[in-house]
Structures are given as structure tokens and as C-alpha cells.
Structure 1
């Protein structure tokens, strides 16, 4: 996962954030494949990752399943090594979208990362840098520069 950065490229004077999940071949008729599909649908529609206390137990409850099956579905059907990695992907994706929309003008970085579900600044900074290869401030500076050009 070391090279799973969110790519920043200059395309027609605008940012393009590559936050698309990789495709994985799993059988949608097998129990883990079906469960993983439900996990993704839940993440994208209800955005439970925004709850700072969201955990594997709550995800299993929300899906009417158990923690073992949910964990296996994530591990077997996705590129994410575990539940935390999946949640952090969605959280960082939300932060990146907020930065792209220039929400940093009206909200602090802390407010933005808290809305996405991060409790602690240090944890957020570390995970953000892991995914983007930039600090949040460096990322915002790049967004600002692109908006001046465009």
C-alpha cells in the first residue's frame, strides 16, 4: 500500500484527484463478495466513516452481520488490508474533496478532518501524508496555486 497515493495531476488547469478504488474480481454470488458490495454501498450512501467512533462492530451491526464475516469480506474482496485502511480511504477521500472545493476558506483543517471522521490531528496528518505524499498544508497550497492559474 506504500504506493497507493492519491495522484495530483494538472489536467486543463484543474486538479484531478484519483480516488477511484481498484477493481477486484470477486464473485458477487459468494457470501463475502455480496457482503463487500453491501459495505461499499453503505460507505458511499450513508457515510458512517464520518463518525469518529465508527468501528468494525458497528459496521457489522449496520449490515446485520458479524465482525468475522465483515472482516473477511474486506480482507478477501478488496485491496484494503483491514477495516481501518478501508475507513481511512473514505475519510481521506472526503478531506481531499473538501480541499478541492476550497472549503479550507471557511473551515479550519481541524474542522474538515473532524467532519471526515478523524479524531486526532496527528493521526490525520500521518494518514493524509501516506495517501497523498503531501502534508495537508502542502496540499492546500497546491490547490490554491491551481485556482490562481485557472
Structure 2
């Protein structure tokens, strides 16, 4: 067996691992978001088909028909990943235009059924020679599709991270790390693919590199947690525009100022911010206005999102607690919890951003003053 074929064995490992990941995803790794897991499972199964095809080609296993069957779903791979990410970050939003992402795959399928497959059987199980322009599309369209959908998926994740702070005063229990690792792993695959086209040395070592990428994907998938542990604030663009237009028509500058005063006074006087699980909908219900109105008042009246508004109040509470004789027996985690913070990490980050000092540095600074 040649050295190249020895390296090609890693395609078999990658294919087998992908089939396993696909099966686990279809079964529901976290059993929280079934639709997202199934789309992710479809992505892994198509990826497994790709690695299986490459392995068969390297070792001359199977004929043109089998290899073509394994290649058929390739153009549906990244739309499946997009649908998975979409359902993970916006599980309650209807995906009305999902089928449009699979149009290229359907066109390729029709082209195969009408032209390629009949010719395979007429040419002794071998693919016909395609015109140069079709070869160009088949070869490079998938690369462009990979880059496009990765950017779109990354944008979905970033938007999700921004929207979390519109509704939640804490983000620690809403785990995004595994999904970020998954996209980083997919980016690693894309770079290998592009590098293989541009450099023969990358092509030579790509079986091992792809296998390393599969290990990264497996880690991110098997360690995934629920992204949503609170209600979402993900209005569609149409609903968001309508809501803003309605609010602009309904709320004058004077009304915004009045609501701003009510929101601030009620939140501070009743110390609602001390509830570590406080969300936008909970606060809006306590104040007696809609979530859209509250969000609009915070953004336009105070210039803050919900996360900033609540945690700044908690920081002020923490300042008092740090210097109080009644809380000298508490450690910093105890102070953080007493001030309404959900974790020590958020407490430190928010406090340092507001004061340019850590809690311990703040105590020392105030002690010197007195």
C-alpha cells in the first residue's frame, strides 16, 4: 500500500465518525431542540457521504453510479447546517422560506436524473464528460456555498448574542460556546477545502486535517447544551419594523420621558433588579407595559439595552454592600448574589467596566479615602 493510500485511510475514519455524529444528532443529543438536532444530523450524514465517496475514489471501490449517489446530496450540506443553526438560535420562529435554500440541490438532482444517471448506465457505469462550464460550476459552486453559509450562520449567532442582552440580565446559563466551537470547526474544514484547491501540499495532508476537524466537530456537538433557558426576543424583521413604527407613532418624546421615569423609579424603589432571574418580560409585567414599549424606552430613553440597565443597578447595589458593615462576613460571591448577579463572572465584568476597578480594588480605594 502506498503512502498516499495510507493517509487516505483517514477519510474512512472521518466518514465513520460523521455517520456516528449524524446518528447521535438524529436521536437528539440534548433532547431540547429536536428540529435543530435533526438538521444537524442531516449535515453530518451528508458530510459522511462526502468522506465515504473520497475514500472509495482513493481505493477504486465502487463504480461511477455509487460515487455519484454519494455526491448527490453535497449541495444540500450547508443549507442543512444553516437550518440547524437557525433553529438553535430562533427555535420558536417559523422558517417559511427554508425550501429556497435547497433550490441548487434540487436543480443538481434533476440534472442528474435527466442527464447524468442515464449516461452512467450507457457508458459502463462511468460518468460522462461534462462541458467545461458545467465542470466549473460543479467544482467551485460548493466552495462558494460553504463560504456564504458559514458567514450567514456566524451572523445568526452574533445576532443571537446581541438579542440575549435585550431580554436577559444574565447570560451564563445560556450556553453558546459549543455552537461557536462548531462554527470554528466548520471554518477549519472550509480552509482545508480552499487550501487543497490552491496548494498540493495541503491536498496531500488533507485526510489527516479533515480527521482533526471531525474531532473538533465531535467535541462541540457532544458537549452542546441548550442555548435557550429563557424566553426569546426574536421578532421577524417585518414584525420588528411594524413594532417600531407603531411605537414611533404612539409614543411622543414626552411620553418616553414619562415612561423612562416610571421604569427607573419602580425598578429602583422596589429593587426589582435584585431578582437574579429577571427578564424583559418579567419586568414589563411588573411595570405594566408591553415588552416592546419597555425595550423602546430603555433603548431610546436611557440609551441602554436591558442587560446594561439591570446590571448597572446591581453594580450600584454591590458598591453599597462592599462597604457595608452588615456584609463584612460575605465573600465576593455572596456580595454578587446579594446584589442580584447570577454569577461571579458577570459581577466582576460589569463592576470592572463601570468603575475601572475590581471589587477588591474598589474596597481598598474607598478605605484609603476614609
Structure 2 length as normaliser, TM-score? 0.31
What is the alpha-carbon distance in structure 2 between the residues aligned to residue 146 and residue 33 of structure 1? Answer: 37
What is the alpha-carbon distance in structure 1 between the residues aligned to residue 367 and residue 258 of structure 2? Answer: 41
Match of residue 61 from structure 1: 285
Match of 1:131 among 354, 362, 369: 354
Q: Residue 278 of structure 2: SS of its match in structure 1?
A: coil
Change in Cα spacing, 1:102 to 1:142, as seen in structure 2 (3 Å) is farther
Contact 2:351 2:358 in 1 (8 A): yes
Contact 2:312 2:350 in 1 (8 A): no
Unmatched segments (≥5 aa) in structure 2:
1-251
What is the alpha-carbon distance in structure 1 between the residues aligned to residue 362 and residue 320 of structure 2? Answer: 12
Structure 1 length as normaliser, TM-score? 0.72
Higher helix proportion: 2
Residue 50 (str. 1) matches residue 282 (str. 2): no
Change in Cα spacing, 1:77 to 1:44, as seen in structure 2 (3 Å) is same
Deviating 4+ runs (over 6 angstroms): none
What is the alpha-carbon distance in structure 1 between the residues aligned to residue 336 and residue 294 of structure 2? Answer: 26
Match of residue 263 from structure 2: 39
Match of residue 143 from structure 1: 366
Contact 2:318 2:336 in 1 (8 A): yes
Higher strand proportion: 1
What is the alpha-carbon distance in structure 1 between the residues aligned to residue 363 and residue 352 of structure 2? Answer: 13
Larger Rg: 2
**RMSD value over aligned CA atoms?**
1.7
Match of residue 299 from structure 2: 75
Report how far residue 120 of structure 1 moved: 0.8
Segment drifting more, 37-46 vs 94-103: 94-103
Contact 1:99 1:143 in 2 (8 A): no
What is the alpha-carbon distance in structure 1 between the residues aligned to residue 312 and residue 275 of structure 2? Answer: 14
Match of residue 313 from structure 2: 90
Higher relative contact order (CA 8 A, sep 6+): 1
Count of aligned positions: 119
